[in-house]
Amino acid sequence: SETGLRIDLLATSGRRLWASDVIESELREIDRATLLPTGRPIRVGGSIDGLAGRDDHLWVLDRQLGVVTRVDAASRAVSRSVRVGDDPSGIAVGEDAVWVGDVGGSLYRVDVSTLEVGRIPVGFEVLGVDVDVASGEVWLYLGGAVAPP
C-alpha cells in the first residue's frame, strides 16, 4: 500500500507501528489496518539513521551527529539527545538499555530511564548490534581491530 511517505525505517512501540520519513526528518505513526499515516508527525531534527522501539518509546540514532534521541510515542514528546560516539553504526533496545555500536571500537549503553551513557571498549569495529529480548543478551557484529585510544 502507498503511504505517501519516503519511508526509510520501521519500528514498533507498544501496539503502534512507526515509519521514518527521510526527507522530512520526522516519524509518522502508521495505521495497521489501512497502512496510511495517522496523527500528527513527530519532528526529530537531524537525520534518522537508526530507529528502534520498545514499550512506549522510540529511539532515534543520528549517525552524523553521533547522538541518540528518546521519543515518547504516546505523548509524541522528544527528549534531549545524548552523545554515543563519533561513528555510530547501529542501534538496538533491550529491557533497560539502548545499545549503540561504534565503528571506532566501542559499544555504548544508554540507560532508558536516566539517559546516562556508558562506554564499553570492544577493540574491534562494531558494525551491527542487536538484543535478544528474551535472554537480555547483546549481540555484536564485529569488523577489524582498532587501535586503543
User: What does the pLDDT read at residue 6?
Assistant: 76
pLDDT band at 69 (very low <50, low <70, confident <90, very high): very high
Q: Average pLDDT of 3-18?
A: 84
Instruction: Centre a 10 Å sphere on the Cβ of residue 4 and count the other Cβ atoms it contains.
Output: 9
Where does residue 84 rank: exposed (0-12), middle (13-18), buried (19+ CB within 10 A)? buried
- Rounded to the nearest integer, the mean pLDDT of the chain is 93
